[in-house]
A and B are shown apart, each in its own frame.
Chain A
Amino acid sequence: MNLIKDYKDASIVKKLISLANQIELDRVYNVMEICGGHTHSLVKYGLINAVKNINFIHGPGCPVCVMPKQRLDEAVFLASMPNTIFCTLADLIKVPASNTSLEKLRANGCDIKALYSPLEVLKIASENKDKNIIFFAIGFETTAPMSAVLLEKIIQNNIKNVFFHINHVKVPEPVCALLDDKECNIDGFLAPSHVSVIIGKNAYLPLAKKYKKPFTISGFEPVDLMHSIINLCLQFKDKSYEVYNEYSRIVQDEGNIQALNLINKYFKSCDFLFRGVGVIKDGGMDLKDEYAKYDAKKVFDIKVQTKAENKLCKCPSILKGIAKPSDCEIFAKACTPAHPVGSCMVSSEGACAAYYKYIKA
């Protein structure tokens, strides 16, 4: 068995596509793939239009894309402070804030590091005891436990020069908001791979029951995705709304308990403005009050003036699933990966970047 090659086997994928197209459905069904990684895979492997009765709607599951401009401006403010080393995960560096980007600041001499792992902060902090280290934490439930591990180690080792700006977000809450929105027209969901590893299959059960929509947790590989699409087709045919775990080789019913305990120990829920979607009640996470001395939002007097979004950019509608990248008049013209106007073009997980790379180019 080969855990990589076998899940990319073209002969299996072709067969699954043909089987999916043999399932008789009464109409075209709209499936939202929540995760940006799924968007990327569907486009990359040519599966986005492979099944005649399935129309894919790209969801708000790219943590960089849903980051509101005000938080990006706060990142710029913190990174511009004297005597500071600003650390974050790679994708965020290129995103345009109101007047500049972290990438441009770095070119102008600010000390901005794109990390492979949050734990690198420990080494940076110990080598630069005379500087403030800012860890700008991004990501869904997938990366929140990693930020929690870092904070735990900082507390254990009594490190005093590291401050967190937490921007972690959650999947179930924005999905509920989308389903409550009358503009949205979603029949079923491909549920994310890595978020589900942490939160578990059981996290989707109340959503499926409340909204009567099927959820299929899928892996990233083309075989995984086609198996999941077949499952959704069968569920549409049977009018069922189960939570099916296609990614059972990794995702467990209860998720990763150790990671969930860490999230609950250090973070509390907070309202979060999802770019393009709006404020989602309890859609984000923030540090609990008892960790205020590590909270950059409380330690530093952050002042920003945030500019309005570019009116021509359709990212808000794309993130809601009511427009496709190709519906946007600046897509691949004024807005490209080299000069991104909107958030969906910035990260490689964004819907516009995936379309640009595999369809437009």
Chain B
Amino acid sequence: MCLSIPSQIISIDENNYAIVDTLGVRRGVSLDLVSDSVEVGDYVLIHVGFAMQKINTQQAKESLKIYKQIVDEIGEEEVFTHFSKE
């Protein structure tokens, strides 16, 4: 049941219904559960025809930056500080 593919909002109509693009496939989703205001261009997580949550792309960028650094062989001590429980 769970698909974790981020989808981008293409358009929003007056009934709080959006057309989203998921890997090139377009479909309609309800925005009734998305509390923070979403706009065209935002990424959302979709579940059974509803947008569940807006994706914080800034947060995703920061995580990915850390992962990329890890692959670029930063020192181990430093890696584990990134994974500290803060």
Q: How far is the CB of A229 from chain B (nearest CB, A)?
A: 10
Contacts of A3 in B (CB 8 A): 6, 43, 55, 57, 60
Question: Would B45 and A1 count as touching, CB distance under 8 A?
Answer: no
Distance A290 CA – B27 CA, assembled complex (angstroms): 35
Distance A259 CA – B5 CA, assembled complex (angstroms): 20
Question: Would B70 and A146 count as touching, CB distance under 8 A?
Answer: no
Contact of A256 among B2, B49, B53, B80 (CB under 8 A): B53
List residues 43-60 of chain B with CB under 8 A from any CB of chain A. Answer: 43, 45, 47-50, 52-53, 55-57, 59-60
Question: Would A117 and B67 count as touching, CB distance under 8 A?
Answer: no
Q: At the interface with chain B, which of A170-178, A242-250, A266-274?
A: A242-250
Contacts of B53 in A (CB 8 A): 197, 250-252, 256
A193 within 8 A of B: yes
Q: How far is the CB of B7 from chain A (nearest CB, A)?
A: 10
Contacts of A323 in B (CB 8 A): none
Question: Would A194 and B35 count as touching, CB distance under 8 A?
Answer: no
Q: Is the interface of B mostly helix, strand, loop or mixed?
A: mixed
Distance A220 CA – B4 CA, assembled complex (angstroms): 7
Question: Would B76 and A146 count as touching, CB distance under 8 A?
Answer: no
Known contacts A63-B1, A116-B48, A250-B53; is-contact A257 B80 (Cβ 8 Å)? no
Total contacts A to B, CB within 8 angstroms?
A: 133
Question: Would B57 and A221 count as touching, CB distance under 8 A?
Answer: no
Known contacts A4-B23, A142-B47; is-contact A91 B55 (Cβ 8 Å)? no
Known contacts A3-B60, A194-B52, A249-B60; is-contact A223 B2 (Cβ 8 Å)? no
Distance A35 CA – B45 CA, assembled complex (angstroms): 17
Known contacts A240-B85, A249-B56; is-contact A146 B48 (Cβ 8 Å)? yes
Most chain A C-beta atoms within 10 Å of own C-beta, residue among B5, B56, B83: B83
Contacts of A143 in B (CB 8 A): 1, 47-48
Contacts of A15 in B (CB 8 A): 70-71
Contacts of B57 in A (CB 8 A): 1, 3, 249
List residues 159-182 of chain A with CB under 8 A from any CB of chain B. Answer: none
Question: Would B76 and A256 count as touching, CB distance under 8 A?
Answer: no
Q: How far is the CB of B52 from chain A (nearest CB, A)?
A: 5
A330 within 8 A of B: no
Distance A197 CA – B53 CA, assembled complex (angstroms): 7
Contact of A1 among B2, B56, B60 (CB under 8 A): B60
Question: Would B83 and A256 count as touching, CB distance under 8 A?
Answer: no
Q: How far is the CB of A14 from chain B (nearest CB, A)?
A: 9
> Of all chain B residues, which has the CB nearest A19?
B79
Question: Would A149 and B6 count as touching, CB distance under 8 A?
Answer: no
B68 within 8 A of A: yes
A187 within 8 A of B: no
A275 within 8 A of B: no
Distance A252 CA – B76 CA, assembled complex (angstroms): 29
Contacts of A116 in B (CB 8 A): 48-49
Distance A96 CA – B59 CA, assembled complex (angstroms): 43
Question: Would B2 and A250 count as touching, CB distance under 8 A?
Answer: no
Q: At the interface with chain B, which of A51-59, A100-108, A230-238?
A: A230-238
Q: How far is the CB of A146 from chain B (nearest CB, A)?
A: 5
Contacts of B83 in A (CB 8 A): 227, 230-231, 234
Contacts of B49 in A (CB 8 A): 116-120, 146
Q: How far is the CB of A129 from chain B (nearest CB, A)?
A: 21
Contacts of B43 in A (CB 8 A): 3
